[in-house]
Structure 1
Amino acid sequence: MTAEELQADPYAIVAVASSAGGINGLVKLLGGFDAALPVPVLVVQHLDPRHRTVLAEILDRRTPLSVKLAETGETARPGTVYLAPPDRHLLVDSGGVLSLSSSELVHFLRPSADLLFESVAGAYGPQAIACVLTGTGTDGAMGVDAVRSRGGTVIAQDPETAEFRGMPAAAVGTGSVDYVLPLDEIAAVISGLVETKRRS
């Protein structure tokens, strides 16, 4: 496949990472999408591993998209948000089949945004969009490098507008971020990218 043919391929997946402050960030981001979003969205939000989470239910009520906890073996579908369960890494293969892993912590974290982004980069290459929202620490920074190196597109929340700037600032610091945006502009930009590339 030529570089031109690869570039003409529509985006096929969006991966999002957030941590501290992320629930508000996810409500705003996901709430800005249309129900007919033509790609699936995979989300790593750092959660307390000791407790069952109701985050999927909260987000499902506050966004036009369908939101659920990811399950091993299911195929990611457009217009649906798949949330990594507490204490499980979320990965995807080139057929869009999801898997959950209890493999070792990455930077003391499970789920890891880096692992999700690296998985998305390997499976989708230039068809991937990775987005880093508010959070402490640096999770996601190695992963955005992987996405960018495979020709994907990287978006970071403007650290100046983030509730916690650590994660988006670390992503921006890699030099691999294509768009640095205020939170309330990210959904429109992702929607525009997906639709524009689909029509081209």
Structure 2
Amino acid sequence: MKRRIDLVAIGCSAGGLRALHTLFAGLDRRFPLPLVAVCHTGSDDVSLLCELLARSATLPVDEATERTSPLPGRIYVAPSGYHLLLGRDGRFALSAEARVGFARPSIDVWFESASAACGGRVAGIVLTGANSDGADGLARIRERGGIAIVQEPSDAEVDVMPAAALAAAGADHCLPLAQIAPLLNRLFVE
């Protein structure tokens, strides 16, 4: 029996744009869940990031905005300069609170918020990156019964983030990037 998952939460940093292109291009067009990514891009232009990702994604890509609900079969990208939260009402909220681990948006804040709102019905994915953001949040997702997926560190453009996630949370699945979208399709579409 498949686990009930309501949301896929993704975090990445250095090398993340390429990783997200690969991940989103490999998803089945019938993918039934919302996917929400926090990516430390160093750019304030999230609309450009969404436009670039939409070129290869099989699903529509939007910026996550205040008070909107993530819809099935859509990809959302956190805006820069704000922490992305998910309220218990299932809507996004943005926070300008202090940076966490030098980042805003913080992957840890997003993962913690999503797992607090959805309980064990979150699949968290940590991809390439140059810091440990996402490691503690992924541990919360697992503690609450969610699924933890980590890019194989040796496959990542920068291995620090996936290695930190494995050390803090372990993983239900640790795979090369090219195998993550097929895994998601098997778990949630087929």
Asked if these proteins are the same fold (TM beyond 0.5), I'd say yes
Q: Which residue of 2 aligns with 1:37?
A: 31
Q: Which residue of 1 aligns with 2:20?
A: 26
Unmatched tracts of structure 2, length 5 or more: none
* CA deviations over 1:88-131 (Å, ceiling 9, x no partner): 11111244211111111001100000011001111112211000
**Could you tell me whether the CA contact under 8 Å between 2:136 and 2:169 is conserved in 1?**
no
* CA deviations over 1:147-189 (Å, ceiling 9, x no partner): 0000000000000000000100000112431111000000111
% identical aligned pairs: 38
Secondary structure in 2 aligned to 1:11?
coil
The answer on 1:12 being equivalent to 2:19 is no
TM alignment of 1:1-200, pairs within 5 A: 10-48=4-42, 51-53=44-46, 54-195=48-189
**Partner Cα distance (2:55, 2:176) in 1:** 23
Q: Residue 9 of structure 1: CA displacement?
A: 5.6
CA RMSD of aligned residues (A): 1.5
- TM-score for both structures, normalised by structure 2: 0.94
**Partner Cα distance (1:8, 1:158) in 2:** 24
Q: Residue 78 of structure 1: CA displacement?
A: 0.7
Larger Rg: 1
* CA deviations over 1:36-63 (Å, ceiling 9, x no partner): 21100010000225x3231000111211
The count of residues paired between Structure 1 and Structure 2 equals 189
Q: Which residue of 2 aligns with 1:4?
A: none
- TM-score for both structures, normalised by structure 1: 0.90
**Partner Cα distance (1:123, 1:193) in 2:** 21
Unmatched tracts of structure 1, length 5 or more: 1-6
**Partner Cα distance (1:92, 1:102) in 2:** 14
